[in-house]
């Protein structure tokens, strides 16, 4: 049962997406494609993107054709640690973890900065079934370490990480599904409030149904600058080749609805000062602690991957990250160091640094001493941070604002409960659906203000949901 994977032309640069999107959708009622070539094919269901969402949808749509820009299926899941969020699993039961959808909904505002929506609740409720269906495909899970950032051990890790997940999804595709890799879609073809196909580099294609599963926009600096409120120079983008924002380009060019694009999750392993390339400075190993205005710590700063961590710095603002310059300099690239060094606030001893920052000196000295003693103890500190990861705060100390690494987008194409895309005026577009990060993981708003860890289970669920709608 291995699907046909057909190799097409190589992927091109993200820049073509915008031009293609503009050409594909004019604003009049016919929204002609702008490509005078005859459609090369007439297909029933086209899925754009073979990431986790597109693959999940294809699993339940025999005969679908999946158009994938990359040379292989998998998308961002291939890079991910594959930590998924589930409620009510055997792993939780075995570990004696008492959890429920109600608990998760109750945690949501603290976890994500916003209330759980009806879609959040539907996803959390369905999550045990998602877990079981993936288990049936041979995916096995273990509970993630207890999370000090309020996940109540809802996070599950996949053995074999993202690769194992992608392999299981690909292996589960019906034989009649065809994946065409190296095939970039450059725009949607709309006829009024109806999709009629897609544009590709090799010409237009007719399609009765199109599922946009092109992922998010966390790696598109221009779209982020348009939507997020983070100060310029305090954030950076990742370097994986996905999350290029095709869905938003098409929406902006073609009058499709966009919802909650400001809800972007970020990791916190970044220095919030502009490095050589202009964005915030990337750093290795989190060689710092964070302190609040009172000079006290409030979190395990080594959980830099957690979306909740980045936002907890904001909740405790003004927050300073404190590092020894001897440990900080090797953690960043030389060019970035040259760019940020003049902006660091440094002093030869804790008291002098506290005074320069206007912190309570006594509390700050105690904080530094407590971190040193936890480090020496070899155990964990009061926030659960393990000794080896604690910085050695001796010699010259430097302070700087924590920064953000844009990680996942929790807004995107405006879709209804069935995953059907709506125009900017709310009109449903016949035949046009979206799943996964392109639709804010499943539906914009699901992840509150800054998103949540483990949203891959929502991505997969949304692919299955769209397929179920189409099969009805
Ligand atoms: C380093 C890293 C670690 C992560 N860890 C986790 C984690 O532990 N847990 C978690 O929940 N999430 C994690 N994530 C996020 C998670 O991987 C994504 O949210 C999820 O995989 C998105 O799936 P998707 O199918 O919606 O989009 P994607 O995986 O982005 O897939 C979209 C696909 O569409 C293709 N595509 C895009 N544009 C076009 C086009 N124009 N034409 C044709 N094809 C196109 C892309 O090539 C890609 O294959 C992580 C992400 C990264 C980068």
Distance from C-alpha of 107 to C-alpha of 314, rounded to nearest angstrom: 18
Looking only at the bridges linking them, the beta strands covering 420-422 and 428-434 are antiparallel
Atom of ligand 1 at shortest range from CA of 85: 11
In the structure, what pLDDT confidence band is assigned to residue 306 with cuts at 50, 70 and 90? confident
Mean pLDDT, to the nearest integer, of 66-89? 96
Q: What is the pLDDT of residue 30?
A: 28
In the structure, what pLDDT confidence band is assigned to residue 34 with cuts at 50, 70 and 90? low
| Last residue within a domain, chosen from 381, 402, 423 | 402
CA dihedral 12, 210, 8, 180 (to 10 degrees): 130
Task: Report the 10 Å Cβ neighbour count for 113.
Answer: 19
Percent of the chain with pLDDT over 90: 82
Half-sphere exposure of 325 (CA within 13 A, CB side): 18
| Per-residue model confidence as pLDDT tens digits over 351-407 | 999 999 999 999 999 999 999 999 999 999 998 899 999 999 999 999 999 999 999
Distance from C-alpha of 255 to C-alpha of 249, rounded to nearest angstrom: 10
In the structure, what pLDDT confidence band is assigned to residue 21 with cuts at 50, 70 and 90? very low
Cα 67 to ligand 1 centroid, rounded to whole Å = 15
Asked if residue 115 lies in contact with residue 108, where contact means CB atoms within 8 angstroms, the answer is: yes
| Per-residue model confidence as pLDDT tens digits over 251-261 | 999 999 999 99
- If asked whether residues 212 and 318 sit together in one domain, one would say no
| Last residue within a domain, chosen from 402, 421, 445 | 402
In the structure, what pLDDT confidence band is assigned to residue 37 with cuts at 50, 70 and 90? confident
Task: Give the residue, out of 15, 72, 77, 462, with the most ligand 1 atoms within 8 A of its beta carbon, to mutate for a pocket test.
Answer: 77
Residue 154 has pLDDT above 90, yes or no: yes
- If asked whether residues 184 and 283 sit together in one domain, one would say no
Domain containing 396: what range? 271-402
| Last residue within a domain, chosen from 370, 385, 402 | 402
Beta carbons within 8 Å of 191's beta carbon, 6+ residues apart: 30, 31
Q: Nearest C-alpha to atom 12 of ligand 1 is from which residue?
A: 456
Tell me, using a 6 A CB cutoff, whether residue 454 lines ligand 1. yes
Q: What is the pLDDT of residue 20?
A: 31
Inter-CA distances, 380 with 107, 300, 318, 437, Å: 25, 10, 26, 36
Structural domain includes residue 146: no
Residue 13 has pLDDT above 70, yes or no: no
Tell me the CATH number at 424: 3.50.50.60
Cα 23 to ligand 1 centroid, rounded to whole Å = 25
Tell me, using a 6 A CB cutoff, whether residue 49 lines ligand 1. yes
Cα 397 to ligand 1 centroid, rounded to whole Å = 38
Tell me, using a 6 A CB cutoff, whether residue 66 lines ligand 1. no
Domain count, the chain: 2
Tell me the CATH number at 373: 3.90.700.10
């Amino acid at each position: 049962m291995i699907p046909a994977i057909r190799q097409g032309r190589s992927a091109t640069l993200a820049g073509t997406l915008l031009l293609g999107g503009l050409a594909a959708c004019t604003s009049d009622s016919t929204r002609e494609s702008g490509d005078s070539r005859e459609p090369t094919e007439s297909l029933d269901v086209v899925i754009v993107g073979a990431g986790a969402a597109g693959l999940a949808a294809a699993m339940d749509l025999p005969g679908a054709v999946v158009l994938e820009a990359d040379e292989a299926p998998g998308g961002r899941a291939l890079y991910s640690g594959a930590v998924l969020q589930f409620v009510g699993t055997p792993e939780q039961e075995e570990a004696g973890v008492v959890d429920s959808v109600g608990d998760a909904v109750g945690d949501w505002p603290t976890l994500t900065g916003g209330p759980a929506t009806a879609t959040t609740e539907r996803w959390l409720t369905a999550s045990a079934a998602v877990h079981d269906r993936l288990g049936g495909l041979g995916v096995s899970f273990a509970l993630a370490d207890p999370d000090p950032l309020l996940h109540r051990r809802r996070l599950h890790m996949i053995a074999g990480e993202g690769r194992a997940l992608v392999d299981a999804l690909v292996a589960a595709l019906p034989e009649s599904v065809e994946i065409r890799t190296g095939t970039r879609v450059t725009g949607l073809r709309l006829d009024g409030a109806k999709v009629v196909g897609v544009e590709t580099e090799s010409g237009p294609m007719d399609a009765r149904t199109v599922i946009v599963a092109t992922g998010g926009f966390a790696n598109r600096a221009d779209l982020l600058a348009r939507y997020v409120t983070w100060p310029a120079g305090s954030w950076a983008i990742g370097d994986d080749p996905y999350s290029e924002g095709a869905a938003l380009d098409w929406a902006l060019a073609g009058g499709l609805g966009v919802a909650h694009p400001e809800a972007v999750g970020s990791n916190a392993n970044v220095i919030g000062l502009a490095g050589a390339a202009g964005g915030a400075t990337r750093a290795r190993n989190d060689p710092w602690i964070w302190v609040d205005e009172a000079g006290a710590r409030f979190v395990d700063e080594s959980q830099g991957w957690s979306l909740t961590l980045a936002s907890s710095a904001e909740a405790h603002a003004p927050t300073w990250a404190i590092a020894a310059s001897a440990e900080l300099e090797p953690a960043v690239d030389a060019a970035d160091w040259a760019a940020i060094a003049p902006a660091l606030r440094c002093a030869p001893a804790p008291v002098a640094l506290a005074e320069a920052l206007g912190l309570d000196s006594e509390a700050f000295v105690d904080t530094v001493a407590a971190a040193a003693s936890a480090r020496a103890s070899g155990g964990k500190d009061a926030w659960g941070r393990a000794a080896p990861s604690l910085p050695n705060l001796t010699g010259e100390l430097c302070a700087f604002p924590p920064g953000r690494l844009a990680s996942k987008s929790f807004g995107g194409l405006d879709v209804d409960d069935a995953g059907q895309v709506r125009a900017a005026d709310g009109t449903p577009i016949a035949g046009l659906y979206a799943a996964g990060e392109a639709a804010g993981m499943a539906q914009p708003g699901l992840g509150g203000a800054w998103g949540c860890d483990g949203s891959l289970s929502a991505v997969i669920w949304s692919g299955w949901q769209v397929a179920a709608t189409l099969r009805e």
